[in-house]
Amino acid sequence: MSELHSIPPTSDFAKHLILVVFSTHNATSETTTMLTTTTMVDDAGFYVQNTSNVDWEMVEFIYVTSIVTSPSQVFAIDNTMFGSVVYLALVLFSPTTAAFSFLGALVGCLAGLELGVEYGEIYNGSWGYNSLLTGAALGGNLLVLNGQTTVATVVAIVYTVLVQYCVQSVFTKMDLPILTLPFAIVVSLFLKLRSNKNNATFPQPVSVSCPEKQHHDYLESRSAHVQAVDIPGEADFEFQN
């Protein structure tokens, strides 16, 4: 049986000490692994982390758990089982949406580790749900999936993490939650790339459905449009309609 004990950080001249103890108990032995991280906040409000005695197995445990927990944070719930159920529902609805959602959570949590965010915030999925929403929204739902929109979605996911880092640095000083503000900002900006239905670069969906059907409908619409242009008189008829 495994237990994760997290002691909230205390402040001492803008220094935060996070103590995470992972204890493994069984019938014959007891093993305790300690991860101590000192996180400092500079004058601009950004994280500066100095880590000693890092247990990378513990970091991997936190990372994997945070990815699974991220979907539950969309509903303001910190629960690994609930997050697993959300992933299962996404797979049943659309494997494409599930893949981009998982990618968003993965990138968000990994970026949180690289940016020196407190492990407690990463562990509960707080750094995965905004980028998860961005991946789910742009990865075939609000944009028809093709090579260009796939690259744009990945860039948007990374950009969401950077926006969250900046927004949270400001909102923390005012003791305000960021909620889904980074997701809303980034998706609003990247939707400006969306053009008309017949544009092959960043096309918008022909009809609202799952990403797979939207992609199929777009290809059919594109094919019909090309055929109409090739047939004399038919293009003029469609234009008049």
Homologous superfamily (CATH) of 56-229 is Ammonium transporter AmtB like domains (1.10.3430.10)
**What local confidence, expressed as pLDDT, does residue 193 receive?**
87
The reported pTM is: 0.71
Residue 63 binned pLDDT confidence (cut-offs 50, 70, 90): confident
Q: Please, which pLDDT band fits residue 21 given cuts at 50, 70 and 90?
A: very low
Check residue 55 and give its pLDDT: 61
pLDDT at 56: 66
Domain range annotation of the chain: 56-229
Q: Which residue has the tokens 């028809």?
A: 144
Each residue's pLDDT tens digit, 176-212:
999 999 999 999 999 988 876 667 788 888 888 899 9
Higher pLDDT, 84 or 49: 84
Q: Each residue of 116-161: pLDDT tens digit?
A: 888 888 889 999 999 999 999 999 899 999 999 999 999 999 999 9
Highest mean pLDDT among 63-67, 141-145, 180-184, 224-228 belongs to 180-184
